[in-house]
Every structure is written in C-alpha cells, then in structure tokens.
C-alpha cells in the first residue's frame, strides 16, 4: 500500500480542506485537517489526516510508549501517541522499578514522585532462591528496588509526556501499516471512523501481540508457554506480618501489600487453570499452609513462560520497544524496566537524527545495543523460571545448591544483582570506557535533564572549554569515577567518548555520528 499524506510532496497530489475532525485528548491540542486524496486512488476517496504536526507516531500508551514519546518531545520532536484502549487499565501488571530505571527517571528530573509514592525494598531475588540479592551495596544513588504500582507509573509518565507537549489519542487502533523511503502510513480506527495518517517514523510499543511488528514483517522467534503462573489482587483478613515468599514441592508463592489495602498474591504451581478465588485459596494453603483469609478479588489472571525476541528492533523507519520486542515469564519484575530502558535508548537518538544533530547511522545502534540486552533478558528469565517452577526432588536439590553457592560466593550474588537491575549493561565502543554506564551521583544525573550530550571533566581547562564551545556542548567540572580527564556522556547516561586530554576527546568525538 502506498503511503498518502497532506503537505508531503513525495506522495502525489492531494487536496486538503480545513474542516477538521477533532481527535484531541487534551486541552490545547489542534485538530488535524481532513484530506481528500485523488489520482492514485482513482474515483475512490479516502480520508487522510496530515501529520505535518507530528514527525513520529508511537503506537501504545503504556509506560514504554509514553517514555519514548516524552524523549522525542524533549529532543524537539512532535510525537503523537495512538492507543487502542479508551482508558488506562486499573490493574498493575508490574510493581517493580529497578535502580537503573530510577536513574533513567532522575536523568529527566522525574524520580521524586516515584520515590514519594513507592516503597524502597533493599533486596531482590533470583529465581525466588532463599539467598536474597542485597541491593544496598550497588553502585547507584538508588540502591533498592522500588515497589510502585504500574497504574501510578503510567499516570506519572503520562503527566510528564503531556507537559512536554506529547499528543495522546486514546481509542485509536492501528490496523495496517506500510512504509517507503519517505515515510510510514498507518490506517487507524478511531471514535469518528477509519482514517490514514503518515509520519517520518513509527515506534511500536504495542505489546507482545504488536500489530506494528506483524505489519512490517519482523519475525518473533521463540518458544510457546509450557507452564503458567497465577496472580490475584485481593484482600486478606489474616495477612503476613511482612511481605513473604514460600517455595516447596507444591509450587511458589509471593504475598506482598499493594495500594488500597490489598495484597498481590502471585506464584506458580504444577497446574494453573484460569484462576478463581477458590484456586488461589487452595494453592496458598498447599504452599504456605494458610490462605491468609483471601477474599474480595479485584483482579485474577495467569501468565505463561512464552519467551520470544524480535529478530530486528528496527526495520526501515519502524522501531520496536518493550514487549513488542521481547516477551518472557514474569520473573523478577524486569519487563517494564527493560522496556523503559529501550525507550530511553531509542528516544534521544531518533530525536537527534530528526533534528539534524546526528547522522542517520546513529539509528542503527538501537538494534546493535538493545538486541543483545533482549537476548540476555530471555536467557536469565528462563533460568529464573526453571528455578521458580522446580518442584521435583531434583529441582529442589538444585535450588538448595544454588542458594548455598550464592551465600558462599558474595561476588556471584553481586554480579546477579547488577544483572537483574541492568546496572551491568554496557554497549560496544572503541574506547575502554565507551558504552559504560556512568555510575553517577543523583546531582550528576540531573545534569542530563535537557536530554542532550554532556561533557564532564575532572578539571575544565581552557582546551576543554574551547572544545565545548566549538561543539555546542555543555561542560561541567565534576569528580569522575575513572582516572580519565573527561568524558562525553550520552543523554541516556552511557559514556560516548573519553580522553585523557582535550585532543584525545576531540579525536574520539570525531568518530561519532554527530553532525
């Protein structure tokens, strides 16, 4: 299907008229003109909405889509978010916000509302082993996991996106998508009927069943579900004194408080049908010895261990992020976190290219950097799944062996903590420091609020000041965690270039896809 547009010469003759349909979702949004298209469609007429006001369409208004759109807007872009649901879900699939994700939020000055509304948990787990992973020694200003319901996360991210000028259209479902060398066309069903809309780029953040991924023909290889977990948000008449977990030959169980006076009861069992309140009660009794007085469920669900990874995170002008790019068993609460980090990696790059601050080659690095993270995600969640669902005598022995190993070798436990919290993610680069995450202070993270690259130096001498001026970069004098004179930090907090002198740094920067 050939993409059509108003105002884009590359798509042939169109006539635009000003009697616009309103598809606004927030005060101050401008209705977009309806266009009648002629020529390529013969006598048929199709309503097409111009995208002159939006250079990127983000499909999906979950946390990943909202953060991607916010990053695009911060970088000077004009993103439009299309979401098929008319309103946000009242249920929180995810509760865990990991240290690296809090750092991501802090880079844009958005962490405080999350800290105010969450509960800091000083440790985590790998495969629900009884040997906990201690987060308190992690090299981060946020050495904890934050228990924060996804419903509230989406509220805060939407507020942030709207404040930056992002347009969000709810109740608008993408049904088709095609692209050519000049742009992407989407067919959308909205409250006022079907329409077509074009953009320079599209970000698919529309979940594991991604229409965007399917429409552009990106393979999604992997394995189907063979086991299932269960989840219930309920009230308890006899709750545990503190959040607890249990594991034995009958399965695994976690009970933890959530907002509203309720509790999240989740886990796995050898057989998990579509969950009911009675199933939850009986399963809790078998695993924990009590049903905690379970009653008044507001949400019951089950989830499988299907594990898939998109073969490509980018195809032409279309990108995938979050669950649209990777799916896995809900082990350790990593999914939302990896998705937000996908969006952080992509957003600033796409905005920089669209605004002419970087060469288009920068966009290739999105797949190069994030696809390996997706591979590692699938591997360690499958390993955790095997441990969580181990209920045979051999499986229970494996769990005891692994727990003893972690207790005897604190370095292994520390490495696992870095891995599950994504603090160990490093991207490829020519310099030994390139691609490394900057283990920054909270104040240093705040220096990245503008979403632009930043020069950090041990001492801001005249040569470095000249380099900053000539490259239109901000320069800050600060203590660095490495014995190097200066580093160029990317907007996502990873080192882009480094040097012991201004000349070395300038040479390293000359190799970057900057314009």
The per-residue pLDDT of the chain, averaged, comes to 89
CATH code for position 469? 3.40.30.120
Closest CA to 445 of 490, 410, 485, 406: 490
Domain-located, residue 31? no
DSSP label at 371?
H
Antiparallel, parallel or unpaired: β 184-190 and 173-179: antiparallel
Distance CA 75, CA 384 (A): 37
Q: What is the pLDDT of residues 229-241, one digit of tens each?
A: 999 999 999 999 8
Residue in the block written with tokens 């290219």: 353
Distance CA 406, CA 486 (A): 37
Closest CA to 17 of 43, 36, 4, 31: 36
When divided into structural domains, the chain yields a total of 2
Question: Is pLDDT of 32 > 90?
Answer: no
Closest CA to 125 of 311, 383, 309, 495: 383
Domain-located, residue 127? no
Question: Is pLDDT of 33 > 80?
Answer: no
Antiparallel, parallel or unpaired: β 326-327 and 454-457: unpaired
Give the Å distances, CA to CA, from 441 to 139, 226, 340, 385. 9, 43, 20, 34
Domain-located, residue 213? no
State the residue range of the domain holding 297. Answer: 228-304
pLDDT value, residue 54: 80
Question: Is pLDDT of 313 > 90?
Answer: yes
Question: Is pLDDT of 396 > 70?
Answer: yes
Q: Pick from 304, 329, 352: which residue ends a domain? A: 304
204 alpha carbon, distance to own chain's centre: 12
| Residues in Cβ contact with 370 at an 8 Å cutoff, skipping those fewer than 6 apart | 313, 325, 341, 342, 345, 346
Domain-located, residue 500? yes
Domain-located, residue 471? yes
Q: Which two tokens stand for residue 467?
A: 């380099």
CATH code for position 266? 3.30.70.2450
Closest CA to 2 of 203, 214, 196, 212: 196
CB 233 within 8 A of CB 150: no
Q: Pick from 304, 330, 363: which residue ends a domain? A: 304
Domain-located, residue 271? yes
Closest CA to 451 of 71, 15, 68: 71
Domain-located, residue 221? no
The mean pLDDT of 359-371, rounded to a whole number, is 97
Q: What is the dihedral of CA 407, 409, 414, 419, to 10 degrees?
A: -100
Q: Pick from 304, 330, 356: which residue ends a domain? A: 304
Give the Å distances, CA to CA, from 384 to 101, 146, 370, 390. 21, 20, 21, 10
Question: Is pLDDT of 47 > 80?
Answer: no
Question: Is pLDDT of 262 > 50?
Answer: yes
Q: Which two tokens stand for residue 477?
A: 């004098």
Closest CA to 207 of 62, 343, 78: 62
By percentage, how much of the chain surpasses pLDDT 90? 84
Domain-located, residue 176? no
pLDDT value, residue 48: 56
The mean pLDDT of 41-52, rounded to a whole number, is 45
Question: Is pLDDT of 215 > 50?
Answer: yes
CB 388 within 8 A of CB 287: no
């Amino acid at each position: 299907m050939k993409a059509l547009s108003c105002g884009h010469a590359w798509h042939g003759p169109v006539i635009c008229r000003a009697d616009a349909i309103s598809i606004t979702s927030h005060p101050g949004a401008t209705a977009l003109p309806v266009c009648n298209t002629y020529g390529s469609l013969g006598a048929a007429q199709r309503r097409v909405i111009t995208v002159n006001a939006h250079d990127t369409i983000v499909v999906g208004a979950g946390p990943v889509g909202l953060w991607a759109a916010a990053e695009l807007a911060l970088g000077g872009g004009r993103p439009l978010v299309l979401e098929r649901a008319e309103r946000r879900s009242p249920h929180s699939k995810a509760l865990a916000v990991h240290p690296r994700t809090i750092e991501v939020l802090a880079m844009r000055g958005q962490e405080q509302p999350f800290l105010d509304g969450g509960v800091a948990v000083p440790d985590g787990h790998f495969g629900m082993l009884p040997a906990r992973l201690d987060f308190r020694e992690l090299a981060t200003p946020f050495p904890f996991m934050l228990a924060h319901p996804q419903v509230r996360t989406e509220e805060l991210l939407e507020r942030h996106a709207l404040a930056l000028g992002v347009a969000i259209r709810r109740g608008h479902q993408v049904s088709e998508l095609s692209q050519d060398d000049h742009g992407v066309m989407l067919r959308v069903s909205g409250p006022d009927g079907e329409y077509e809309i074009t953009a320079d780029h599209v970000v698919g953040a529309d979940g594991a069943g991604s229409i965007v991924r399917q429409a552009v023909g990106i393979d999604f290889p992997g394995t189907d579900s063979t086991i299932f977990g269960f989840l219930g948000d309920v009230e308890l008449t006899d709750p545990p004194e503190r959040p607890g977990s249990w594991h034995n030959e009958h399965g695994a169980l976690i009970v933890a408080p959530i907002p509203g006076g309720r509790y999240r009861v989740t886990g796995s069992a050898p057989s998990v049908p579509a969950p009911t309140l009675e199933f939850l009660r009986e399963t809790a009794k078998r695993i924990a010895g009590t049903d905690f007085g379970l009653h008044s469920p507001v949400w019951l669900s089950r989830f499988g261990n299907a594990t898939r990874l998109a073969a490509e995170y980018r195809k032409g002008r279309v990108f995938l992020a979050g669950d649209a790019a990777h799916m896995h068993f809900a082990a350790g609460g990593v999914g939302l976190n990896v998705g937000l980090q996908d969006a952080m990696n992509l957003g600033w790059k796409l905005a920089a290219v669209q605004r002419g601050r970087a060469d288009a080659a920068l966009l290739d690095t999105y797949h190069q950097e994030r696809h390996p993270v997706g591979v590692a995600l699938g591997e360690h969640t499958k390993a955790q799944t095997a441990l969580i669902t181990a209920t045979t005598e051999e499986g229970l022995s494996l769990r005891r062996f692994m727990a003893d190993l972690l207790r005897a070798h604190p370095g292994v436990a520390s490495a696992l903590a870095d891995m599950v919290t994504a603090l160990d993610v490093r991207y490829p680069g020519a310099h030994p420091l390139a691609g490394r995450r900057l283990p920054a202070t909270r104040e240093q993270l705040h220096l990245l609020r503008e979403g632009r690259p930043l020069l950090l130096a041990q001492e801001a001498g005249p040569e470095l000041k000249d380099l900053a001026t000539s490259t239109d970069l901000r320069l800050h004098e600060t203590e660095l965690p490495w014995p190097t004179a200066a580093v160029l930090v990317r907007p996502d907090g990873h080192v882009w270039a480094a040097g012991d002198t201004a000349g070395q740094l300038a040479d390293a920067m000359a190799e970057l896809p900057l314009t």
